[in-house]
């Protein structure tokens, strides 16, 4: 019996062993399968999304590695399962990632059957239609990312059932209606984004329920302010971005207690009153953007304590008082343009990296303030220009006899550039999610039509072009655009949508303008023509982003205004003002120079231009030399129409003088001899030019074909020279750091 028992035991053990082995083989890792019903659901879901591989979904999906790949940061596919159900035999899909796939279908209601789903990201597709309420039936859902699609309709109130939902990212779609009341139940939310949608209504009070929130993005919606006071409950916020609110104005919301704030953007939110001083206690702050509000009062001293700050944008408010010294001395990107500061006359247009354009209040002594700090950039002399051609973001070029000015500065963020009192631009903001993004663009393949379509200037926020010193009158303003940042080549690159607005002279002329849509595709030029009155002397073309469209395709930071070229032509007859006699010219030349010499002597006596006893002064020679060239050589210049200006310097000086000083004085002397009395500088500006406080400005005279007169040719040549020299040498407003840094002017 014992033996039989032993044999039986052995056989039993073996049998059990084999059984166990069998089980392991059959239900082991290679046999972890999805339930048949889940396969059916997934096939339906993927085929309604128009996924080309919907048909390949099988029970073995969880081990089918062809669904796992990454082509670029926004072209990605991934399926993740949890196979611990049913003693490690049954799998369920827990994550679906299909990013940048050009899926053109809809979000089907069958998604609600995926009751184990935890994360779904469909970023960067072309899915349209509404979000099905059935998604609210997925109790396990923690992350839902639907950014950069074409979804629309209202947000289903069922989503309020998703108690575990932590990330709800819906930016860059076209949702309408209000945020449902039920969203107040989403108490596990850490990240909520609805940028660039048409959602309307008041920002709801219940956002105060989202106490676990760390990031809240509401840029460019159609929602109304004010920001509810309940926001003060969101103490864990590190990134808060609310922009472009309509409705009534309000004071700054209470953000006291949000000690870990890193990015605070409340742009164009109709905020009034002063900037709270507790902002200075947010010591982790890297970006503070309170631009385009109605904030008044002074910049709080406490902001000085923000040691980590990279970007400080207070553009377009009503801030007053002096610009604090710590701001002027800062190395960071600071934009204080368009405010009401009291600027001292020492403040130049570009100090450190602080943009102060158009920032000073029009006080009585405003004449002593640099022109670029004053509102509307008034012409510092008599306006003379009557046409303007700019190749935005591109080089100088001649098209049909029109000389397009080069516009090559690559500096960003927040930059002011001006070119010889003829035109200027001011760009504000920094690209969201990519501070290395570019501020000019070049087409990867040639755009048909005029060559200027192959380059463009871009800005993250606001881009203003100014036509300066224009004659009063009516003009045709033509704006040229071509979408050159997106391409048709790659699936995901064709998904981007760029929308921005354009105002001319403060009047909105293009709203939600979409270049690609208007031109009928990528890499196609389109122009818009406008009839504009210039009543002062400044033409202002303002392009600005109101948070609409995509921001992450083909890369993070591709959005905002883009422009290829600007042409401005007069709708009136231009008086070319020719016909000065040779005698008159000679009189002007001699007269001007006599005055200049007298002035130099006076200045010398007063101790400017180096001390009396300073025999080795580099200016010593200049004094002699001015007397020398005044009559004979200037006449020779006439202005034989040739010669390098420096040839006018007394050769006996050798190289013992400052070329910069010499050129400044020579330029000045020549400017004083302008045939048009109105174009000669006033005595007070001559003084500041000699002192180097103001740049020497030679007017550009555009020769008409009929003006063959030699003196005009000479002047034109001179003005070109002096423009170059002045930009390179001056330390004041006319020396845009851009030109001296990017080397375009040597």
Q: Could you tell me the smallest distance in angstroms from the CB atom of residue 649 to ligand NAG?
A: 44
Phi and psi angles of residue 650, each rounded to the nearest 5 degrees, phi first: -50, 120
Question: Which of these ranges, 305-313, 314-322, 416-424, 520-528, lies near ligand NAG under the rule CB under 6 A?
Answer: 314-322
Closest separation between CB of residue 699 and ligand NAG, Å? 24
3-state secondary structure 259-301: CCCCEEEEECCCEEECCCHHHHHCCCCCEEECCCCEEEECCCH
Among 73, 222, 232, 318, binds ligand NAG (CB under 6 A): 318
Q: How far is the CB of 289 from ligand NAG (least distance, A)?
A: 13
Given a contact cutoff of 8 angstroms between Cβ atoms, the answer to whether 472 and 383 are in contact is: yes
Dihedral of CA atoms 427, 430, 436, 442 in degrees, nearest 10, equals -40
588 is an interface residue for ligand NAG by CB under 6 A: no
Distance CA(253)–CA(216), nearest Å, equals 15
DSSP conformational letter for 400: T
Q: What is the dihedral of CA 343, 345, 349, 352, to 10 degrees?
A: -80
3-state DSSP percent of the chain in helix, strand and coil, to 5: 30, 25, 45
Please, what sign has the CA dihedral across residues 156, 158, 161, 164?
negative
Q: CB of residue 39 vs ligand NAG: minimum separation in angstroms?
A: 9
Q: Which residues between 22 and 41 bind ligand NAG (CB under 6 A)?
A: 37, 40-41
3 state SS for 65-111: HHHCEEEECCEEEEEEEEEEECCCCEEEEEEEEEECCCCCCECCHHH
**The two three-digit tokens of residue 520, written as one number:** 């009928």
Cβ proximity to ligand NAG, 266 vs 662, nearer residue: 266
Nearest residue relative to ligand NAG (C-beta): 163
> Smallest distance, Å, CB 148 to ligand NAG?
13
Among 249, 254, 361, 724, the residue binding ligand NAG under the rule CB under 6 A is: 361
Site string for ligand NAG, 192-211 (x = CB under 6 A): ------x------xx-xx-x
Nearer to ligand NAG, 6 or 84 (CB): 84
Q: Closer CB to ligand NAG, residue 235 or residue 604?
A: 235
Nearest CA to 468 among 560, 553, 537, 389? 537
Q: State the number of binding residues for ligand NAG (CB under 6 A).
A: 60
Which residue of 24, 88, 187, 577 would you call a contact of ligand NAG, by CB under 6 A? 187
Strand 525-534 versus strand 473-482 pairing type = antiparallel
Q: Which is nearer to ligand NAG, 259 or 382 (CB)?
A: 259
Q: Which of 651, 560, 718, 562 is nearest to 220 (CA)?
A: 560
| Binding-residue pattern over the window 163 to 182 for ligand NAG, x denoting contact by CB under 6 A | xx---------x-x------
Cβ distance to ligand NAG smaller for residue 102 or 332? 102
Q: Which of residues 52-71 bind ligand NAG (CB under 6 A)?
A: 62-65, 67-68
Least distance in angstroms from the C-beta of 695 to ligand NAG: 24
Number of neighbouring beta carbons within 10 Å of residue 632: 10
Indicate whether 338 belongs to the interface with ligand NAG (CB under 6 A): yes
Cβ distance to ligand NAG smaller for residue 307 or 573: 573
Residue in 351, 317, 321, 346 with CA at minimum distance from that of residue 334: 351
Tokens representing 184?
């107040």
Q: Are 543 and 502 in contact (CB under 8 A)?
A: yes
Pairing of strands 287-289, 311-313: parallel
Give the integer Cα–Cα distance in Å for 38 and 173: 29
Give 525 or 681: the residue with its C-beta nearer to ligand NAG.
525
Give me the DSSP letters along 565-594: EEEEEESS---------HHHHHHHHHHHHH
The verdict on 236 binding ligand NAG (CB under 6 A) reads: yes
Please, which residue, 298 or 688, has the CB nearer to ligand NAG?
298
* Residue 655 makes contact with ligand NAG by CB under 6 A: no
Check binding of 569 to ligand NAG (CB under 6 A): yes
Residue 356 · residue 336 · CB < 8 Å: yes
Q: What's the CA gap between 529 and 526, in Å, rounded? A: 10
Contact 417, 424 (CB under 8 A): yes
CB 391 → ligand NAG: shortest distance, Å?
A: 19
Given candidates 6, 53, 56, 104, which one binds ligand NAG under the rule CB under 6 A?
104
Q: In angstroms, what CA-CA distances link 428 with 301, 412, 703?
A: 23, 8, 36
Closer to ligand NAG at the Cβ: 456 or 568? 568
- The residues in 243-302 that bind ligand NAG, with binding defined as CB under 6 A, are 268, 292, 296
Mask for 130-159, x = binds ligand NAG (CB under 6 A): ----------------------x-------
Shortest spacing between CB 514 and ligand NAG, in angstroms:
8
Residues 420-439 as x/- pattern, contact with ligand NAG by CB under 6 A? --------------------
CA distance 99 to 78: 9
Which positions from 370 through 389 interact with ligand NAG, judged by CB under 6 A?
375
Segment 464 to 503, residues that bind ligand NAG, using CB under 6 A: 476, 491, 494
543: its two tokens? 């392009």
Q: Measured from the CB of residue 280, what is the shortest distance to ligand NAG in angstroms? A: 22
Question: Should residue 536 be labelled a site residue for ligand NAG when binding is judged by CB under 6 A?
Answer: no
Instruction: Quote the least distance from Cβ 393 to ligand NAG, whole Å.
Output: 21
Closest CB to ligand NAG among 152 and 180? Answer: 152
How crowded is the C-beta side of 340, counted as CA atoms within 13 Å? 12
724 touches ligand NAG by CB under 6 A: no
Min separation Cβ 258 and ligand NAG, Å: 11
CB of 589 to ligand NAG, least distance (A): 36
Instruction: Tell me which residues touch ligand NAG (CB under 6 A).
Output: 37, 40-41, 44, 62-65, 67-68, 78-80, 82, 84-87, 102, 104, 110, 113, 126, 152, 163-164, 174, 176, 184-185, 187-188, 198, 205-206, 208-209, 211-212, 230, 236, 268, 292, 296, 316, 318, 320, 338, 340, 361-362, 375, 462, 476, 491, 494, 529, 531, 569, 571
């Amino acid at each position: 019996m014992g033996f039989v028992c032993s044999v039986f035991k052995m056989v039993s053990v073996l049998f059990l062993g084999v059984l166990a082995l069998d089980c392991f083989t059959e239900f082991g890792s290679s046999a972890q399968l999805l339930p048949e019903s889940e396969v059916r659901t997934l096939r339906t879901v993927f085929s309604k999304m128009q996924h080309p591989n919907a048909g390949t979904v099988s029970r073995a999906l969880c081990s089918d590695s062809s669904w796992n790949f990454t082509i670029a940061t926004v072209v990605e596919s991934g399926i993740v399962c949890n196979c611990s159900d049913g003693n490690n035999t049954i799998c369920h899909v827990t994550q679906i990632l299909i990013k940048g796939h050009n899926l053109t279908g809809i979000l089907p209601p069958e998604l609600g059957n995926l009751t184990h789903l935890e994360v779904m990201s469909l970023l960067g597709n072309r899915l349209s239609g509404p979000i099905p309420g059935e998604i609210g039936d997925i109790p396990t859902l923690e992350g839902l990312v639907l950014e950069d699609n074409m979804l629309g309709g209202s947000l289903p109130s069922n989503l309020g059932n998703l108690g575990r939902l932590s990330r709800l990212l819906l930016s860059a779609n076209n949702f309408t209606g209000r945020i449902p009341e039920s969203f107040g139940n989403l108490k596990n939310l850490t990240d909520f984004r609805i940028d660039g949608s048409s959602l309307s209504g008041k920002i709801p009070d219940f956002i105060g329920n989202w106490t676990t929130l760390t990031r809240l993005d509401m840029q460019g919606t159609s929602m109304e302010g004010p920001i509810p006071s309940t926001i003060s409950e969101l103490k864990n916020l590190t990134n808060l971005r609310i922009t472009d609110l309509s409705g009534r104005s309000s004071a700054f919301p209470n953000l006291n207690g949000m000690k870990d704030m890193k990015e605070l953007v409340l742009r164009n939110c109709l905020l009034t009153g002063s900037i709270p001083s507790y902002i200075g206690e947010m010591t982790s702050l890297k970006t503070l953007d309170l631009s385009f509000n109605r904030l008044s009062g002074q910049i709080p001293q406490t902001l000085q304590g923000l040691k980590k700050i990279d970007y400080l944008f207070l553009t377009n408010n009503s801030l007053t008082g002096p610009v604090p010294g710590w701001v002027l001395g800062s190395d960071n990107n600071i934009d204080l343009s368009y405010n009401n500061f009291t600027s001292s006359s020492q403040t130049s247009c570009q100090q450190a990296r602080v943009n102060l354009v158009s920032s000073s209040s029009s006080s009585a002594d405003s004449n002593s303030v640099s022109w670029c700090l004053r509102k509307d950039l008034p012409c510092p002399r008599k306006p003379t220009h009557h046409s303007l051609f700019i190749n935005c973001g591109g080089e100088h070029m001649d098209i049909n006899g029109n000389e397009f000015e080069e516009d090559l500065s690559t500096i960003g963020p927040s930059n002011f550039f001006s070119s010889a009192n003829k035109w200027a631009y001011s760009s504000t903001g920094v690209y969201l999610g990519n501070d290395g993004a570019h501020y000019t663009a070049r087409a990867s393949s040639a755009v048909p039509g005029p060559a200027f379509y192959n380059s463009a200037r871009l800005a993250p926020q606001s881009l203003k072009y100014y036509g300066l010193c224009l004659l009063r009158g009516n003009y045709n303003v033509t704006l040229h655009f071509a979408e050159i940042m997106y391409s048709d080549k790659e699936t995901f690159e064709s998904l981007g949508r760029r929308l921005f607005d354009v105002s001319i002279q403060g009047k909105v002329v293009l709203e939600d303008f979409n270049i690609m849509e208007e031109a009928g595709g990528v890499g196609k030029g389109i122009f818009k023509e406008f009839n504009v009155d210039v009543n002062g002397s400044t033409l202002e073309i303002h392009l600005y982003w109101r948070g609409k469209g995509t921001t992450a395709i083909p890369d993070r930071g591709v959005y905002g205004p883009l422009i290829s070229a600007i042409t401005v032509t007069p709708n009136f007859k231009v008086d070319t003002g020719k016909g000065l006699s040779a005698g008159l010219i000679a009189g002007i030349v001699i007269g001007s120079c006599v005055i200049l010499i007298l002035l130099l002597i006076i200045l010398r006596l007063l101790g400017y231009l180096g001390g009396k006893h300073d025999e080795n002064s580099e200016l010593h020679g200049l004094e002699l030399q001015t007397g020398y060239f005044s009559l004979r050589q200037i006449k020779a210049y006439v202005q034989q129409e040739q010669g390098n200006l420096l040839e006018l310097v007394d050769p006996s000086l050798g190289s013992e003088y400052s070329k910069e000083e010499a050129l400044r004085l020579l330029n000045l002397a020549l400017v004083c001899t302008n045939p048009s009395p109105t174009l000669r500088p006033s005595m007070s500006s001559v003084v500041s030019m000699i002192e180097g406080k103001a740049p020497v400005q030679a007017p550009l005279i555009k020769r008409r074909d009929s003006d063959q007169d030699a003196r005009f040719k000479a002047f034109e040549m001179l003005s070109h020279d002096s423009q170059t020299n002045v930009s390179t040498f001056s330390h004041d407003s006319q020396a845009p750091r851009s030109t001296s840094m990017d080397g375009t002017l040597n």
